[in-house]
Copies of this chain bind each other. A is one copy, B any other.
């Protein structure tokens, strides 16, 4: 950091500079909340000091309140935390929100107004004019809108959102491509893992040996969020990128990993080799800042004809990579390719954490 403050003052408590930043998790017993807790275990900068959830569980010890569904055990530091209600009063600086969209909106507002930095994985505020929807590798400059948000809401707190899980891998890949070749049109058909639907989520009777060609609200999210992420911060708000996106979203019987078949029309002439090169060599702000959760290279470009595949590739770079394969000409647009990534890590909890790391590294937590 190199800053000279010797301690934080958060909610009246003092923290030494070399201590980790205390963070809370909202919706801590849910699927995304659990993933936050798992990914924050041993985080070099953040430490989970508060877990909050619905009234039904608040007051209980976390290990008793949760139906833990991760393959590693509940982190020791969290296991015995008391579950708190989702209201300000949590002893932390940052809250990660894995709240259900049915309730996330006003709760996140309340925390931001109370001075907390809210990293939200929920859809509710993603399209708010003064809320950044950020992928650190693609549009870190959109954080500029925070100062406007703080002014609008008259608070030191604020909300930063990350995209929907399906949008994530599309917007990630389009980032460098748009910069290099100018995207004009985008088709995307997703084949999404069941973990994207939370828990209990998709009943097994609905998905075993099946494809469900519908995920409520998903296509609309992909079509607009992609354009906001690739849009331009004009000093006041974000202008949406000026190209249409058409999305078809499907659920498939895969545990983790969203696969996307994409076709793009580009303004500048290029080649499959050049696109592959642009992605393979891309390095963004998180890579330059060496953020703890950042993958060393944001993209893994695979040469094998039949990759990427969720079962074999989803955990590349600890689930933070965007995998790209089958870059080839398209008989209607210019190029087509396959994207894949871990929907609950890079596409959800890991994205919020990377955003928080970016905020810290760029001085937004001071």
Contact = CB atoms under 8 A, between A and B. Distances in A.
A194 B205 contact: yes
A255 interface: yes
Given A203-B199, A246-B263, A208 B194 contact: yes
16 contacts: A69-B205, A71-B313, A191-B191, A199-B205, A203-B204, A208-B209, A208-B253, A209-B311, A211-B309, A211-B310, A213-B308, A223-B331, A244-B332, A246-B331, A250-B259, A253-B253
Given A200-B200, A201-B205, A204-B204, A211 B252 contact: yes
Interface in A232-286: 244-246, 248, 250, 252-255, 257, 259, 261, 263
10 smallest beta-carbon distances between A and B, as pairs: A200-B203, A189-B189, A248-B261, A210-B311, A214-B306, A213-B338, A246-B332, A204-B204, A189-B261, A211-B259
B205 A203 contact: no
A185 interface: yes
A284 to B, nearest CB: 24
Contacts of A191: 191, 211, 250, 252
Contact of A212 (B69, B257, B309, B331): B309
A8 interface: no
B252 A253 contact: yes
Nearest to A314: B71
Interface of A: 69, 71, 185-187, 189, 191, 194-195, 199-214, 216, 223, 244-246, 248, 250, 252-255, 257, 259, 261, 263, 305-313, 315, 325-326, 330-333, 336, 338, 340
A207 B69 CA distance: 12
Nearest to A325: B213
Contacts of A208: 194, 204, 207-209, 253-255, 311
Nearest to A220: B331
Contacts of A212: 306, 309
A71 B210 CA distance: 13
A351 to B, nearest CB: 20
A209 B255 contact: yes
Given A187-B187, A211-B254, A311-B208, A336 B203 contact: no
